[in-house]
């Protein structure tokens, strides 16, 4: 749905190449992910029991997922009792339609929105534009990329690809005051002034949810800027869009997950705001929305419960992105979907289909750093490898790759043939070497484009052992 966007045009390899050639992007990514890694490491080091908390967090999510219908029904009952209205959406289209319908019924002209990756996943910004509803992004980074006309490139810092120097220029161009500001604080103030009127005049506020709490029917948002509260409180209508996997049994569970989520995301103990929203404004309340709608989105999650249940534990903390050597080099837009990095590569094939996104599970070194830092221990390398196996079974791999692997397996499963082939091939390869190194490999040009390859020895280890040479 985003294929028309400039930064998402082309194939994965084309986008990756463009990103690799962008020195400016490198600076932005190094700053953001470098800070994130340092702060997370400090937070984890300061909590000796982090590993236990991480195991408990995974168990909390698994418990909710293993009793999915039970807790979703409990959530529905309690949310309805609180005065909320629920809308179940099977897919992205139904989810957007539910939001647009509410906007139409309330004759909304302007909606404010606090950051929600689910909104990006279902294409809500696009759907609102098509419906003629003015959308104002209130998260600072979302505000930046809305001004730039882009999509998020990171799930925690949507403008991770932008430097503060970029932001300075964008604000000068788009903000009413047209001031060239260089101090971060002054830029934040400028955004505040810019957004203030919309916070109070918007007809509808749309938020995501970090948790859906079954025992109370409340939804929880975790933010740093307070924009979620200003998005959800003053407008007459509050719409929550949330994936059904956000369900947890209890408030205590939500708070336990918050402890590992925030540390993994920003390295802080807590975010500035942790808010539980439960139903619309009641008689006697000073503020709050008159209507409170919750759009519960499946969009492939029921299928994921079958195919890769661990993925539904994901808290969207972004730690796997920050620690991924590939993400750190190519940034988020190269991945082409709403979610980049390891977790994005694991779930984008669910949303977009495996064939068009088959590069994503392959563009990974399977180094396991993502799993190591995941606060809910999602076996991301295993999930990505499973996608590779599926891609292979479904015939998406090129003929050359299939032939190469089959040929290798054929020869390597016949030891005598294998030995004979090496006895012929190694001296041939050796002859290509100069001063012990080969600078162009005919069968692996990708290697020698940027690296040399050592010339192989005359005889293999096993051939030397066979000829009686011992250590």
Q: Is 115 exposed, middle or buried (0-12, 13-18, 19+ CB in 10 A)?
A: buried
Which residue among 185, 393, 399, 442 contacts other proteins (CB under 8 A)?
393
The total number of residues written for the chain in this structure: 471
Stretch that binds other proteins, among 71-79, 115-123, 250-258, 390-398 (CB under 8 A): 390-398
Q: Which residues in the 266-325 window bind other proteins by CB under 8 A?
A: 325
**Alpha-carbon torsion, ordered 263, 265, 270, 273, to 10 deg:** -170
* Minimum CB–partner distance for residue 366 and other proteins (Å): 6
Size of the site for other proteins (CB under 8 A): 66
Q: Which residues in the 322-361 window bind other proteins by CB under 8 A?
A: 325-326, 329-330
Check: CB of residue 263 under 8 Å from CB of residue 211. Answer: no
What residues pair up with 213 in beta bridges, in sequence order? 218, 248
Between 56 and 363, CB nearer to other proteins: 363
Q: Which residues in the 424-453 window bind other proteins by CB under 8 A?
A: 426, 430, 433, 435-437, 444-447, 449-453
Nearest Cα to Cα of residue 324 among 257, 384, 396, 259: 384
- Which residue has tokens 């101090």? 183
Give the list of residues 6+ apart from residue 25 with CB closer than 8 angstroms, or none.
19, 161, 331
* Minimum CB–partner distance for residue 10 and other proteins (Å): 14
Q: How far apart are CA 85 and CA 342, in angstroms?
A: 35
Q: What is the DSSP string of 174-219?
A: HSTT-----SHHHHHHHHHHHHHHHHHH-SEEEE--SEEETTTTEE
Which residue among 129, 409, 420, 440 contacts other proteins (CB under 8 A)?
409
Check: CB of residue 242 under 8 Å from CB of residue 84. Answer: no
Q: Which residues in the 115-174 window bind other proteins by CB under 8 A?
A: none
Give the list of residues 6+ apart from residue 317 with CB closer than 8 angstroms, or none.
156, 261, 262, 264, 265, 375
* Minimum CB–partner distance for residue 28 and other proteins (Å): 15
Which residue among 6, 11, 13, 252 contacts other proteins (CB under 8 A)?
13
Q: Check residue 36 for interaction with other proteins (CB under 8 A).
A: no
Q: Is 410 exposed, middle or buried (0-12, 13-18, 19+ CB in 10 A)?
A: exposed
Which residue among 282, 402, 420, 440 contacts other proteins (CB under 8 A)?
402
Q: Which residues in the 356-385 window bind other proteins by CB under 8 A?
A: 362-369, 371-372, 385
Reduced DSSP (H G I as helix, E B as strand, rest coil) percent helix, strand, coil of the chain, to 5: 55, 10, 35
* Minimum CB–partner distance for residue 305 and other proteins (Å): 20
Q: Check residue 466 for interaction with other proteins (CB under 8 A).
A: yes
Q: Check residue 16 for interaction with other proteins (CB under 8 A).
A: yes
Q: Check residue 391 for interaction with other proteins (CB under 8 A).
A: yes
Q: Check residue 17 for interaction with other proteins (CB under 8 A).
A: yes
Residues that bind other proteins (CB under 8 A): 13, 16-17, 20, 325-326, 329-330, 362-369, 371-372, 385, 387-393, 397, 401-402, 405-406, 408-409, 412-413, 415, 418, 422, 426, 430, 433, 435-437, 444-447, 449-457, 459-462, 464-466, 470-471
């Amino acid at each position: 749905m985003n294929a028309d966007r400039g930064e998402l045009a082309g194939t994965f390899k084309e986008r990756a190449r463009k990103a690799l050639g962008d020195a400016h992007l490198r600076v932005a990514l190094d700053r953001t992910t470098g800070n994130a890694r340092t702060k997370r490491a400090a937070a984890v080091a300061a909590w000796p029991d982090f590993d236990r908390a991480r195991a408990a967090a995974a168990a909390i999510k698994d418990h909710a997922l293993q009793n999915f219908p039970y807790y979703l029904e409990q959530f529905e009952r309690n949310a309805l009792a609180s005065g909320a209205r629920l809308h179940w959406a099977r897919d992205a289209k139904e989810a957007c339609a539910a939001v647009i319908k509410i906007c139409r019924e309330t004759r909304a002209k302007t909606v404010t929105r606090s950051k929600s990756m689910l909104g990006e996943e279902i294409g809500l910004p696009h759907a609102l534009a098509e419906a003629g509803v003015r959308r104002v992004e209130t998260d600072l980074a979302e505000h930046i990329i809305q001004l730039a006309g882009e999509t998020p490139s990171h799930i925690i810092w949507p403008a991770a690809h932008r430097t503060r120097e970029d932001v300075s220029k964008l604000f000068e161009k788009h903000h009413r005051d047209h001031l060239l500001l260089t101090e971060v604080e002054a830029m934040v103030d400028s955004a505040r002034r810019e957004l203030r009127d919309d916070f109070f005049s918007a007809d509808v506020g749309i938020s995501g949810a970090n948790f859906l709490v079954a025992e109370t029917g409340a939804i929880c948002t975790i933010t740093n800027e307070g924009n979620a509260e200003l998005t959800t409180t003053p407008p007459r209508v509050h719409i929550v869009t949330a994936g059904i996997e956000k369900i947890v049994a209890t408030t205590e569970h939500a708070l336990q997950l918050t402890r590992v989520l925030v540390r993994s995301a920003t390295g802080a103990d807590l975010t500035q705001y942790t808010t539980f929203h439960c139903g619309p404004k009641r008689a006697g309340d000073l503020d709050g929305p008159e209507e409170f709608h919750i759009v519960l989105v499946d969009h492939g999650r029921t299928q994921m419960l079958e195919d890769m249940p661990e993925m539904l534990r994901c808290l969207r903390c972004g730690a796997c992105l920050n620690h991924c050597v590939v993400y750190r080099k190519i940034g988020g837009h190269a991945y082409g979907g709403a979610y980049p990095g390891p977790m994005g590569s694991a779930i984008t094939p669910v949303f977009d289909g495996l064939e068009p996104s088959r590069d994503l599970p392959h563009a990974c070194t399977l180094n396991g750093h993502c799993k190591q830092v995941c606060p809910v221990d999602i076996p991301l390398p295993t999930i990505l490898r499973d996608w590779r196996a599926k891609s292979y079974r479904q015939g998406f791999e090129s003929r050359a790759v299939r032939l190469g692997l089959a040929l290798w397996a054929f020869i390597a499963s016949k030891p005598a043939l294998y030995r004979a082939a090496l006895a012929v091939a190694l001296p041939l390869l050796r002859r290509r070497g100069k001063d012990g190194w080969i600078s162009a490999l005919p069968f692996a040009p990708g290697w020698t484009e940027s690296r040399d390859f050592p010339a192989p020895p005359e005889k293999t280890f096993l051939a030397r052992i066979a000829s009686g040479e011992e250590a």
